[in-house]
Structure formats: C-alpha cells, structure tokens
Structure 1
Amino acid sequence: MPTATQTAPAPAAPARAGRRRPSGPDWLWAALLTLAVTTFRAGSPQLWRDELASWNAASRSTGELWGMLGHVDAVSGFYYLLLHFWVALFGDSAAVLRLPSALAMAGTAALVVVIARALFDRRTAVFAGLLFALLPVVTRYGTEARSYAFAVLAVTAATWLLLRALERPAAGRWVGYSALVAVSGLLHMVSLLVLLPHALIVVLRWWSVRRTRTVVSFAVAAVAGLVPVVPLVLLGRRQVGRQISWIETPRMRDVSGLWDNLFASPLVGLAIAALALLPLAWPRGRRHAVELMLLGAAPIAACFVVSQGSSSYFIDRYLLFTVPAWAVLAAAGLAALRPRAAGAAGLAALVLLGAPDQRQLRTAQAKEPSDGVAAARVIAQGYRPGDGFVPPRGKTERVFMVDYQIEYYLPERVRLRDVFAERSAVASDDLFPVECKQPERCLGDTKRIWLVTRDSGDDHDPYNWLPAADKKALKDHYRIARTTDVRGLHVSLLERVK
C-alpha cells in the first residue's frame, strides 16, 4: 500500500515497445469527431479565389484539364484530377467541394491518435485526438477545396509508416513509405521538406542501435518516392512566376506571424508552443519528444532558409503538414500535467481560446470578404438574354477571380457573354481567358453589360480596377443605368447609348 511519504507520480513516459496495446476505438472516435467538426456548416463560407480556381479546373474535362496544367498550376494537378472525378459524382456545391478535405482531416486525426499511442500512452493519444479535432486550423483547411488537407494526411501517414519501419523493418512498410512520399510531393511539393526530419529521426535511431541496413532502406525508399515527383518539380519551376511570385522573402519577424496563422488563432498558437515545450523536460522519454519537435520545427526552418532564394514558399498553409506533430507534442504536454485533472482543464481552456475563431470560420465572409452571392443575385434579378459581362482583369486584378466568383453563384438560366474575353480560359488552356487587344471592337452590338468591380473602400467609382482601354471603351459607348453596392463589390448595369 502507498505510504504517506510516497512521491507524486512522474510525468507519463513512452510505453515500452513490447507493452504497447492497440488504441482500440480511439482512432475511430477522433476521426468521427474531426469529420463532424469540419462538416458543420461547411457550406456557409463563400468560396474564395483559390477554391474558385479548384472548382474551375475540376469542372473541365480531363483533356481540358491536362491542357491547362501544361501552362499553369501543374503542382495542383493531382488534386484537381481527384476533385474532377469527385465533382462528376457528387456535384459542385460549396459543402460538397470541401467534403474531401474534411475526410482527409478525419483520416489525419486517426493517424494522430495511433502515433501518439505508439510513442507515448493512451492518455496522450486521447488528448491528441481531441486537440487535433478541435484546432481552428483543422476546421479552416478541413473546409477548403484545396490540396492542403490531403498533403497533411499523406505526410502523417508517411511518418506513421516510417516509425513502424524503424521499429520493425519490413519491405512492405518501406514500399508503402516510398509511395506516400511520392503522393505527398504530388499533392504539394513543399511537403517534401518532411524528408529532412525523417532523415534526422533515422540517424538518431541508428545512433542508438547502429542498424545500418535501416539507414540504407530509408535512403532507397526516399529516393524512389522522389522519382515520380521530379517531372512535376521541373514543370512547376517553369510556372513558379505565375503562381507564388507574390510571396515575399521572409524575415525573422515573419516567423511569429506564420506561427499564429499555422493554428488559425494567435492564442491557440501560443498555448500550443507552451505545451510543446513541456515534454522536452522529461527525465525519461525525451527521445520521442525530440523526434516530434524535429517533425514540427525542421520543415519550418528549412522552408525559411530555402525561401531566401529566388522563390519564397514561406506561408502557413504550405507548412500545414507540421500541425499533427505539434498536436501530438502538445497533447504529451497536457498528459504530463499533474494533478491529472490539470490536463483536462488545460485542454478545455485551449478549446475555449479557439472558440471565437471557430465561430468566425463558419461565417459567410470567413474566407472571401466580397459578397459574390449578393452580386449574382442582383444580376439574376435584372438579367435579359444577350446581356454582356465585364469583370476586372489585367495582370493584378485577374487573380481575385471576380469572374469565376460571379459565374459560380449565378443560376444556370443566366448566361452572360464575357465581352472582353477574346478567347476563353478553356480554349486558351489556362486559368484565365485571353483579353481583347482592341476592347472597342470586342463590344460588338451588345446592348447591356453587367460590370462587376471590387470596392476599393473610399472610392465608389464603378469602373475601379479596369484597364484604361476597357474603361474608355465602356465610357464611350455606354451609360450607367444603375449601380448596386454589395459587400466588397460594385454591380453596375450599363446600357448602350451609341
């Protein structure tokens, strides 16, 4: 029986390999909870420009999609192809477009639990499952029609297979690991930075057991996984100027901003950072905490260094695949708190810190500040067959994809002619149409035009952001019959005068 002088129990340490027990249904409820959280009101936020690009690409035929990828967005091609078949089966509502990402996050939650159980204990695994499911960033990108959640799933699965292969090497595990490395790179090339911490973990394990064959197996599997990605990397490098030239070279002050955005909540990010440091102070079991720290921190550091070159990749969503490692490490910190109730209280406090962000993520303007639904409604109510359409384009404005925003929300009966598009985006094998070099000639005999431009705030000019030639052609031949302002947009009906 315990005596009065018995010391308090030490923080939870990793279970011995031979004493680990299956995590039972813990992985299942974590996956279901994550799926429930990410699908709750998933269709409420309006699609923003990156999601509109996904919708537009996925809505094309496979031949049209392949033609587009040769000119732009090749790095997203694998995801676009998956989404293409998904849309063909289930439609393209906002909730349906985002559901694959929710499923990917649910799969990641299951892996987070089994990794935490393998490295630590069931208490840590339970905390990890709850924490991951309720992180605001999981909601943010679990309701995003982009490839990021899939990259997180692939990287986490690769990490799990690596840990299993290091524990008990087998050819099938290394083959599976190699395949997942390839899938990770095809989904998002920046996710290949995970190979750095993977290599460091292999070296640390080798230092303990000196099993050289394992190091060789890892090197062969990693290289084999990179081979299918090489053509994509080469093609992506040619397109990089059109896609990420807007990302600035990072400075040290940008690291804190990235950390806040990595968790979609500054307060949650701060709490995760504090909790993640606790397991590093353990007298026992520090090795697994160090490995997780490498999985979380090494890709961020590597991306910072690489981004000092000609192209920058230092943006939170590109490094989203590090979040599972931080979640497990923070969960281990919660599990180490004493008394044991302090861990549950800490988790509850962390969830409360993220509650305002969770609410905001489900509002209509959570991702896109301008109201495309309202703008499309104005056009639909006043539409007449033969009406034209002019959105802002040009080199700086087309990236906001106002044209796709309106097109997505217009009912099928409304078919507007894109007046200043000399050749459509599909015909051009591009995300954007080819614009008229002589705008006045492209007007033709169009009697009415719907002009939709972004609201710049102080200036209420409905011709905002239009190229000078387009603006002159419209002003010379049309008058503004009426202008309706909706959130972030001007919707003007122009009528021909001569």
Structure 2
Amino acid sequence: MTSSATAPVRSGPGGGSNGTRTGRTASFTALAGRTFWLWPALLTLALGVRGSARPQLWRDEYATWSAATRSTGELFDMLQHVDAVSGAYYLFMHYWIAVLGDSPAVMRLPSALAMTGAAVFVALTARKMFDTRTALFAGLLFAVVPSISRYAQEARTYGFVVLAVSCATWLLLRALERPAPRRWLPYAVAVAAAGLFHMVSLLFLSGHAVIVFFQWRRDRNRGTLLGFGASVLIGLLPVVPLVLLGQRQVGRQISWLQTPWLQTYIDYWHNLFGSALVSGCFLVLIAIPGGWARRRQPVFEIGTVAVLPIAISWVLSHGPSVYFFERYQLYTVSAWCILAAAGLNSLRPRLLGVVGLVLVAAIGVPDQQKLRTSTSHEHTDGRRAAQFIADRYRPGDGFAPVRGEDKWMMIDLEVRYYLPERVHLQDVLVAKNAVERGDLFASACPVPTACLGTPRIWVVTMGNDSDTLKRFPAAESEALRASYRQTEVMHVRGLTVALFERTTS
C-alpha cells in the first residue's frame, strides 16, 4: 500500500493544475514574507533620487558644501565656533565629496540612501510589533510621505537621523526579545549615531524607556532595565562633548526659532509630513487602531515613540532654547507610519487597506511633484546670477555680495557654488573670509574704502530693488557710491546682479 506521504497527486479535470497553482501561491507568499522590507526600500530610493538634481541648493546645503570642502583641520577649527551639532555629518560629507564630487545630485545621494535604510527598519519594526502585512503597509507609507522624499533630497543630516532612530527602535525590540550584551551593544551604537548626527533627536529615548518599562512589568527581569540603562549610557558617552560644545553655540544655531503655542501644532503637523492633505490622512488612519483591543499594547508602545519626543520638545521650548521644529522631529514619522499602517491593516474587507494606501500615495502626488521644481528648496536663483557674472568676467574682478543683516542668506556661497572653476573673484569688503575665521561667515572690513581697490566689482544683493545698494550697510554703500558707478544690472529670481566700475578721478 502506498502511504499518504508518497501517494501520487491525482490527475483529472483540474486536479494537477490546482496542485500546481496552490504550490505557486505558497511560494509567492513565502517570497513576499521574506522580502516585505525590499519593496519599501526600493520605492524610497526611487523617490529619493528622482529629480534630485533639479532643485537648486538652499542656504543650509550651501553650509554643508562650505564646511565639507574645507580641509579636515579647517573643518575642526570651524566646529569649535559654529555648527558642532552637524560635525559628524560634515566629516562624512568631506570624504564623500572628495571621492564623488559636489554636484547637487551627488551631495544629496547619501540622504536618499539613509532614508532607504530607514524604510527597511520601519518595515522590520512593524513586523516585530504586528505582522508582515502591517510591515509592508508601514514601509510603503513611509516611502510616499512627501517630507521623507524632501529630506531624502537634501544635503543635510536629517536623513541620517531618521535612519539612526529607526534602526535603534528595531534594535531595542530585538534586544528585548533576548536581552544579552551582544544585542544591547548595537543599540548603544545606534543611540550614539542619532545623538552625533543631531543631539535633539535623543528625545526618542523617552518613548523607548516606556517600551522597556512595560517589558519589565511583564517579565520582572532586572536585566531588561540594566541592559537598557547601560546601553543608553554607553551610547551617550561620545555625545557628551558635543552637547557641551553645542550649548555654547546654541545662541547662534537656533535663536531664530519662536516659542511654540497650541496653534503652532497645526502648521507643525502639516510640515512634519510635507503635505496638509497627507497629514490629514494620517490622523484618520492613526485613529483606527484605537478601538482595536487585541493590538492596544503595541499601538500604545509605538505611539509613545511618535508622541513623546514631540510633546517633550514642545515643553522644553518654553525654556531658554526652542527645539520644537518639524524637521528636528522628522524621525517620529517612522513611528507615525507604523501606527497608520496598523490602522490600514485593521480595515475589513482587507482590500480596503490596499485602497487606503493607494489613496494616501495619490493624494501626495502634487506635493511630490512640487518638491522637484527648481524653486522647491530656495526662492533665489543663484545659478542664473552666477552665469551672468561668468559670461562677463574679467581676471581681477571683485565680488561684493550683500552681507550685513542678510548674511544668513549666504548669497556669497550661493553664487560661488555655481560659478565655473575658471572664474576667480576677489571678495572685497571683508577683513577675513569664512575659512580664515573658522566660521561660516566672513568678517566685514572695518574701513570699506580701504578694501576697495579692484577696477570692477560684481555686486549681488537680495530682491529686485532699483537701488542695488539699498540693503548694504551704510558705510559699504557709501564707499561703493563714492568710487564706483553701476554699468550693468540684471534681475533674476530673488536677486539682483550688478557690475560696478571704478570712476575716473
């Protein structure tokens, strides 16, 4: 007698084909279960690199370019005075640019790669807390959030922060499954990375502490608390010097931020997702799992990772320094996506979840397209201003970008970035340039008339006023008017470029 284990498959009408079809379905399901993280990663990367060269750089990206293109000695000198909180990122970009160049697409690629890695950890975290379907929803939601694409296309540190925090959350859950030093150590490394790339991001530890507390309540294992505490302390050790240095620079770094109030939350929430409509969709989806009794515990735990950093930053921002700013808490989007995915996965029939995902992605399309316009990062057109100068350049020409109260716009770096290598402008009206000062800004010449000696000076200022020198400090404006006359002028978007030539005595 043939046993059931070796009995041949019965053929007949539909018999063999049904067996083949069932096998294929099982194989596809198994493959999907193993690669659920891959599709969000690919989509995040595709959206991150698509059109990344089109938007012109903006002032924060010019700061990255200025810092990263200095020698390591000059860079460390600058970090003693300004932007120490971005030092780890600048050092990474220094070597990246040295190898691959400084075009907009190349400078922004590390952020796209970091966001791609974050998408993987969002999916992995959702899988641990919920299931594979929720994980796929969470990763895909993360990929289509407009703000994620926006900062995947920016040469700044925020993509790295999102990656570090997303990785830390997954590593925490992994360590809590089987607490052991070899599992806590990677978590400590992720904590250190998050703090080194942006120390304000360390507020995510508040949500992690809640998760650890509830785990301890379930297992009463002191090793859980000790492992978490020790790994956090180890992770914070390399961040302490940065915190001490950053405290001395905080007045320059974030003094422009305003104390938030309750109404601030509206704009904050929209900006956190990069779209008012998409942020509204998330509010709806997040509300769905609230009544889902079987999943309340993981919903609550990941909810603390999303909510607590924002709430704490709002409270702290009523003190001497303000930290409540959407891109400073961009890393919470990972947790919001997991919450929203749990909502999608709870919809019945199950097809509704897919429809909801497609709807969120479709609603975000206009904002995604807007991100890839030339003006999406900055309203001024430094490229055209630089081209106008390059077409009329003569060796020995001077350069006088508006500084004074407008120096924070970094017009000097904007124009210099787009100038071709053959153009070498002498920066007049400065006593020391930014590199010599170990800073992002040059120091003004104390006696402007003594600094003007070149026969021709290219003046670049903000706006399109008929009086080109209107925004210059009075002493600089008077010195230029006394010895030079304007011979050419061109208005580009947000800027005015003028050629001043020395008058004959």
Shorter-normalised TM range: over 0.9
The structure with more radius of gyration:
2
Contact 2:180 2:227 in 1 (8 A): no
Given that 2:85 and 2:199 are in contact with CA atoms closer than 8 Å, whether structure 1 keeps it comes out as: yes
Alpha-carbon distance, 1:464 to partner: 3.3
CA distance in 1, matches of 2:175, 2:298: 15
Match of 1:194 in 2: 204
2:356 is equivalent to residue 350 of structure 1: no
Confirm or deny: 8 A CA contact 1:388 1:418 kept in the other structure.
Answer: yes
CA contact (8 A) 2:458 2:499 kept: yes
> Hey, what's the Cα distance between the residues in 1 that align with 2:114 and 2:253?
25
CA-based RMSD of the aligned residues comes to 1.3
CA distance in 1, matches of 2:270, 2:470: 33
2: CA distance, partners of 1:154 / 1:128? 17
TM-score (norm. length: structure 1): 0.94
Q: Distance in 1 between matches of 2:62 and 2:281?
A: 34
Alignment partner of 1:141 is 2:146: no
1:321 matched residue in structure 2: 331
Which residue does 2:288 correspond to in 1?
A: 278
Of 194, 206, 209 in structure 2, the residue corresponding to residue 184 of structure 1 is: 194
Q: Secondary structure at the match of 1:259?
A: helix
Q: How does 1:39-188 map to 2 (within 5 A)?
A: 39-188=49-198
Matched, 1:478 2:484: yes
Task: Report SS of the residue matched to 1:132.
Answer: helix
Which residue number in structure 1 is paired with residue 436 of structure 2? 427
Instruction: Output one character per residue of 1:252-271: Cα deviation in whole Å (capped at 9) or x when no partner.
Output: 11112111100010110111
1:296 and 1:325 in contact (8 A); partners too: yes
Q: Offset of 1:327 from its aligned partner?
A: 0.7
CA distance in 2, matches of 1:23, 1:288: 21
SS in 2 for 1:380: helix
Counterpart position of 1:405:
414
Task: String of CA shifts for 1:369-405, please: whole Å, max 9, x gaps.
Answer: 01111111111111111111111111x3111000000
Tell me how far 1:91 sits from its aligned partner: 0.2
1:280 to partner: Cα distance: 2.1
Match of 1:248 in 2: 258
Give the one of 297, 301, 315 matched to 1:305: 315
What's the offset of the Cα at 1:422?
Answer: 1.4
1:336 to 339, 346, 356: 346
2:294 is aligned with 1:294: no
- One-letter amino acid of the counterpart of residue 115, structure 1: T
Give the TM-score of the pair, scaled to structure 2.
0.92
Matched residues in 2 for 1:464 and 1:23: separation?
A: 64
Residue 22 (structure 1) shift? 9.4
Are positions 1:460 and 2:458 aligned together?
A: no
**SS at the partner of 2:266?**
helix
Aligned equivalent of 2:214:
204
1:63 CA drift (Å): 0.6
- The Cα shift of 1:46 comes to 0.3
How far apart, in 2, do the equivalents of 1:448 and 1:65 lie? 32
Counterpart contact for 1:454–1:464, Cα < 8 Å: no
Cα distance in 1 for residues equivalent to 2:470 and 2:43: 45
In 2, the alpha carbon distance for the partners of 1:216 and 1:168 equals 13
Structure 2 residue matching 1:390: 3-state secondary structure: strand
Structure 1 residue aligned with 2:5: none
Distance 1:182 1:348 in 2: 36
Whichever residue aligns with residue 485 of structure 1, its letter is: H
Contact residue 450 and residue 492 of structure 1 kept, 8 A:
yes
Mapped pair 1:441 → 2:447: no
CA contact (8 A) 1:262 1:317 kept: yes
| Equivalent runs, 1:379-398 vs 2, <5 Å | 379-394=389-404, 396-398=405-407
Q: Answer yes or no: is the 8 Å Cα contact 1:23–1:114 preserved in 2.
A: no
Deviations 1:353-376 (A, max 9, x none): 111110000000001001111111
- Inter-partner Cα distance in structure 2 for 1:454 and 1:297: 40
Equivalent-residue separation in structure 2 for 1:306 and 1:109 (angstroms): 29
Q: Structure 1 residues 162 and 21 mapped into 2: Cα distance closer, same or farther (>3 Å)?
A: farther
CA distance in 2, matches of 1:240, 1:85: 27
User: What letter matches 1:470 in structure 2?
Assistant: E
Q: Answer yes or no: is the 8 Å Cα contact 2:39–2:140 preserved in 1.
A: no
Q: Report the Cα offset of residue 468 of structure 1.
A: 1.0
In the aligned structure 2, how far is the partner of 1:288 from the partner of 1:377?
56
Listed one character per residue, the Cα deviations across residues 283-321 of structure 1 (whole Å, up to 9, x for unaligned) are 101110011110111000000011111110111110011
Percent of matched pairs sharing the same residue: 53
Cα distance in 2, alignment partners of residues 255 and 198 from structure 1: 23
1:23 Cα deviation from its structure 2 partner = 4.1
Long gaps (5+) in structure 1: 1-19
User: Aligned residue for 1:7?
Assistant: none
- What is the CA-CA distance between 1:234 and the residue it aligns to? 0.6
Match of 2:475 among 446, 456, 469: 469
Offset from partner CA, 1:5-53 (integer Å, 9 cap, x none): xxxxxxxxxxxxxxx9994112122212211110001010000000000
Q: Secondary structure at the match of 1:453?
A: strand
Aligned-partner residue type, residue 461 of structure 1: D
Aligned AA (1:373): R
1:391-428 deviations in whole A, cap 9, x for unaligned? Answer: 1111x311100000000001011111111121111111
Residue identity in the other structure for 1:449: I
Q: 3-state DSSP class of the match of 1:483? A: strand
Give distance in 2, aligned partners of 1:185 and 1:411. Answer: 37
Q: Is the 8 A contact 1:179 1:225 kept in 2?
A: yes
Counterpart CA distance in 1 for 2:32 and 2:237 is: 35
Please say which of residues 150-159 and 113-122 is displaced more in the overlay: 113-122
CA distance in 2, matches of 1:363, 1:237: 37
